Amino acid sequence: MKTLLEQAKAGIITPQMTKVAEQENFAPETIRERVATGEIVIPNNPNRPHQKVCGIGKGLRTKVNASIGTSSDICDIELEKRKARIAEQEGADTLMELSTGGDLDLVRREVMAACNLPIGNVPLYQAFHDAAKKHKDPNKLDPEYLFELIERQLNDGMSFMAIHCGINRFSIERLRKQGYRYGGLVSKGGTFMVSWMEHHNKENPLYEQFDRVCELMKKYDAVLSLGNGIRAGAIHDSHDRAQMAEMIINCELAEIGRNLGCQMMVEGPGHIPLDEIEANIILEKRMSGNAPYYVLGPLPIDSGAGYDHVTAAIGAASATRYGADLICYITPAEHLALPNEDDVREGVRVTRLAARIGDIAKYPERRNHEKMVALSRRDMRWDEHMDLLMFPDKARQIRADRTPGDSQTCTMCGDFCAMQRGSALFSQDISNDKRG
């Protein structure tokens, strides 16, 4: 079976490419061309035919990923299924199943059956979980078991995987010579892989046998997302030598993977100051040949716990503006606890807002909807206005809770409504607007 990338290179427009073109208002040929160059990926494991089609990459609406999963403290499969359904209902484009507690095969399969989003994961989580359970020591992981596990998860229908191929002896040496880190290592998969390599004094098998990883991904036409295992967990670590070494390697691997016929995506930070986000994205795009960029947040401060969904939204809007293609949401529970259902809902909503803010800056031609919102607000066409909002249910609830005396106004201004007076004075005729 040829992958979507290989078919695109052969000039074939697949049903998935046609669907993305319809969703994004592009010509199918444009989508095919960008899939062929690796600038767009479409997670679409054929073992899960009911999943929604989602294009990620150049020129497309910036997508939002929601992450769920059990932990060693909280393992409730029904809760995870509800969280998956909430993520889909709230408009997430993809889902990552990141469980580390309980029967991980069962959790994964139950979650995959509970929603229709393309689903990804981090195979190192289960690999080290299983090694710890079997041997009482995650460093006793057998690399052959890791490859067997990747295929098992792909066979279940995983459409993309964050695989930590860019951690190697060179990147670890940069960390060692650097000698410090304010935030330490924060990637679970990355940390356990570094520990395994140091314990055995061996190279990362995912890097050493990268062609084997790509062959497995190609077999199921899944997107290989090159994991950011040495990402900064504090803004003072942003763009240190260790992180940059891994980023360079991942960008090289993205090119190698594409040449092997595998759909590729690169993962980014992490914690990063706002003024460094643009440079980070420029570097990834140039070094990877414009591979789709999947950023985790990013969080531009470290002190926002409890409101890190807001912190991350500020970073995400900026990252989207400068070219990020997929944003992993952050919930209010980040750095504090396992997210619950309300956290998932809030995380998806806030991240969708951030992506929308970034997209209308990145693509000014997409601002027309905002004009329609403004006009309906100006003219106090409340029903129409509510229907145009991203979250009409929330807006209607707030308005209903504080009903105004005059149904045309709201309780913010009441008798002093600027819209009523201003519309009568200046706002009726927009025929002279030349701004589009």
Contacts of 1 (CB under 8 A, 6+ apart): 46, 219, 221
Q: How confident is the model at residue 436 (pLDDT cuts 50, 70, 90)?
A: low
Cα three-residue angle 23-29-33, rounded to 5 degrees: 105
Same domain, 346 and 370: no
pLDDT in tens, 351-394: 999 999 999 999 998 999 999 999 998 888 999 999 999 999 99
| Least confident residue range of 15-29, 109-123, 337-351, 421-435 | 421-435
Which range marks the domain in which residue 373 is found?
366-426
Domain-embedded: residue 431:
no
Q: How confident is the model at residue 255 (pLDDT cuts 50, 70, 90)?
A: very high
Domain-embedded: residue 59:
yes
pLDDT at 404: 80
- The residue ranking higher by pLDDT, 418 or 297, is 297
pLDDT at 363: 93
Residue 249, pLDDT > 70, answer: yes
Residue 400, pLDDT > 60, answer: yes
Same domain, 355 and 373: no
Domain-embedded: residue 299:
yes
Same domain, 18 and 78: yes
Question: Encoding tokens for residue 330?
Answer: 């952050």
Percent of the chain topping pLDDT 90: 88
Domain-embedded: residue 205:
yes
Give how many domains the chain has, as a whole number.
2
Choose the final residue of a domain: 362, 384, 411. 362
Give buried/exposed letters for 278-304 (b at 16+ CB in 10 A, else e). eebbebbbebbebbbbbbbbbbbbbeb
Q: How confident is the model at residue 349 (pLDDT cuts 50, 70, 90)?
A: very high
Choose the final residue of a domain: 362, 389, 417. 362
pTM above 0.85, yes or no: yes
Question: Mean pLDDT score of the chain, rounded to an integer?
Answer: 94
Same domain, 406 and 313: no
Domain-embedded: residue 323:
yes
Same domain, 41 and 107: yes
- Region 314-337: mean pLDDT is 97
Same domain, 337 and 393: no
- The residue ranking higher by pLDDT, 31 or 416, is 31
pLDDT at 433: 62
Contacts of 142 (CB under 8 A, 6+ apart): 131
pLDDT at 431: 54
| Least confident residue range of 23-37, 148-162, 212-226, 404-418 | 404-418
Q: Is the peptide bond before 101 cis (omega within 30 degrees of 0)?
A: no
Choose the final residue of a domain: 319, 342, 362. 362
Same domain, 248 and 344: yes
Q: How confident is the model at residue 100 (pLDDT cuts 50, 70, 90)?
A: very high
Q: How confident is the model at residue 411 (pLDDT cuts 50, 70, 90)?
A: confident
pLDDT at 426: 60
Domain-embedded: residue 434:
no
Residue 434, pLDDT > 70, answer: no
pLDDT at 435: 58
Domain-embedded: residue 432:
no
pLDDT in tens, 58-84: 999 999 999 999 999 999 999 999 999
Same domain, 355 and 371: no
Same domain, 263 and 395: no
Q: How far apart are CA 63 and CA 56, in angstroms?
A: 7
Contacts of 239 (CB under 8 A, 6+ apart): 232, 272, 276, 279, 280
Same domain, 35 and 19: yes
Residue 188, pLDDT > 80, answer: yes
Question: Encoding tokens for residue 228?
Answer: 């950011």
Residue 95, pLDDT > 70, answer: yes
Same domain, 284 and 378: no
Question: Among 317, 329, 299, which Cα is nearest to 90's?
Answer: 329
Nearest 10 degrees: Cα torsion 280, 283, 286, 289: -70
Same domain, 31 and 158: yes
pLDDT in tens, 195-242: 999 999 999 999 999 999 999 999 999 999 999 999 999 999 999 999
